[in-house]
Amino acid sequence: MSRRGAGGTVVVMIDARELTKRYGGRTAVRELTFTVRPGRVTGFLGPNGSGKSTTLRMILGLHAPTSGSVTVGGRPFAERSRGLRHVGALLDAGDAHGGLTARRHLAVLARGNRLPPARVDAVLEEVGLADAAGRRIGGFSLGMRQRLGIAGALLGDPPVLLFDEPLNGLDPEGVRWVRGLFRRLAAEGRTVFVSSHLMTEMQYTADELVVIGRGRLIAAESLSAFAGRAGSPQVLVGTSDPAALAGPLLAAGAVVVEEAGRLTVSGLPAARVGELALRHRVPLHELTTRTASLEEAFMELTAGSVEYPAGDLR
């Protein structure tokens, strides 16, 4: 839905309610309910075949739901004219016609959405393609096509932005640039929804996550809350006398694993481990708490939702 934020600016949310899509006897998306809010970057995660692309296409009105609904600013996106003013999207960097120049491609989009021609050069500059504006898209690398697709999404200066695998083909500098771009767009109060399989980048970029598997919702929560669901934190302990500390830790109910003079402790918080070390006069060189990474949490929580696990030769 839409509402007024601080200073009277309009902020727009994506709302999916019991969203379902069936193709014949196959259900690609099943009763998805989630909200993507403005002012933050929301990562959209799921194993291959989980229904992410189908969901994005339903948000954009490219596929009609079998049942349920999805709205952008309280209305189905298909009802909006001049769509690029409302939602900018990059679904497939290969969609642009290879015979057109970058400037011509964006000019066509601008004309169809009644956008000022000046926006074309503005977004080409923003994505770093100003010097390649007159080149034909057919000669672009994948990374350049991704930048062009992002330029198209930004063309209408929309409050909502959707990106499907926007980091494919980008070099490290490009990845850093995209990360900063998404952060800036969210800081401006926009709604930013990013589908990606790159867990490390989502860990650095996303504030919230929507995670699905086999078309069903697994989680819709903050990144930290999702990572925290993958097992208990562990305490890593470095000491010159691991044997002297292992006994008190075990007596306190911890699970202790020693490897190369380092202890990995489960079942006790770091503060309690430190207290036991002090009481038994065991010197500590390291005392840190390790929580699951986003990738570890994702693999654990989606393990039952992988369509074709390794070793499945069907």
DSSP class of residue 61 equals T
Q: What is the pLDDT of residue 232?
A: 66
Mean pLDDT of 227-248: 86
Q: Which pLDDT value is given to residue 144?
A: 96
Instruction: Give the per-residue pLDDT at 6.
Output: 40
- Domain ranges in the chain are 2-228, 234-291
Q: List all residues 6 or more positions away from 148 whose beta carbon is below 8 Å from its beta carbon.
A: 93, 96, 102, 105, 106, 127, 129, 137, 140
Q: What is the CA radius of gyration of the chain?
A: 24
| Most distant CA atoms of the chain, gap in Å | 75
Residue with tokens 């959707």: 162
Q: Can you name the residues that pair with 243 across neighbouring β-strands?
A: none
For the entire predicted model, the pTM comes to 0.78
Strand partners of residue 53: none
127 contacts 150 by C-beta, under 8 angstroms: yes
pLDDT of residue 191: 97
Instruction: Please state, in angstroms and rounded to a whole number, the distance separating the CA atoms of residues 302 and 213.
Output: 6
pLDDT of residue 115: 95
What is the rounded distance in angstroms from the CA atom of residue 213 to the CA atom of residue 218? 7
**Backbone φ, ψ for residue 270 (5° rounding):** -60, -35
Instruction: Read off the DSSP letter of residue 308.
Output: S
Q: Assess whether pLDDT exceeds 50 at residue 9.
A: no
Task: Please tell me the distance from the alpha carbon of residue 69 to that of residue 182, in angstroms, as a whole number.
Answer: 26
Q: Measuring CA to CA, which residue among 30, 4, 277 is closest to residue 159?
A: 4
**254: which residues sit within 8 A by CB, 6+ positions away?**
265, 266, 267, 268, 273
Average pLDDT for 54-69:
96
- Asked whether the predicted pLDDT for residue 217 surpasses 70, the reply is yes
**Residues 280, 286, 292, 293, Cα dihedral to 10°:** 180
Which tens digit of pLDDT belongs to each residue from 270-298? 999 999 999 999 999 999 987 767 777 77
pLDDT at 314: 36
Say how far apart CA 269 and CA 288 lie, in whole Å: 10
The pLDDT tens digits of the residues spanning 85-136 come to: 999 999 998 889 999 999 999 999 999 999 999 999 999 999 999 999 999 9
Which of 1-5, 24-28, 117-121, 290-294 is predicted with the least confidence, judged by mean pLDDT?
Answer: 1-5
Average pLDDT score over residue span 239-264: 92
Among the four given CATH numbers 2.40.50.140, 3.20.19.10, 1.10.3720.10, 3.40.50.300, the one describing domain 2-228: 3.40.50.300
| Sheet architecture: strand order including 284-290 | 255-259, 262-266, 234-239, 284-290
Give the C-alpha separation, 101 to 173, whole Å: 24
Q: Which two tokens stand for residue 33?
A: 């309910």
Specify the higher pLDDT residue, 12 or 145: 145
| CATH entry, 234-291, from 3.55.50, 3.30.70, 3.30.200, 3.40.50 | 3.30.70
Proportion of the chain above pLDDT 90, given as a percent: 73
The tokens of 115 are what?
């956008």
- Pairing state of beta strands 40-45 and 191-195? parallel
Asked whether the beta carbons of 254 and 266 are under 8 A apart, the reply is yes
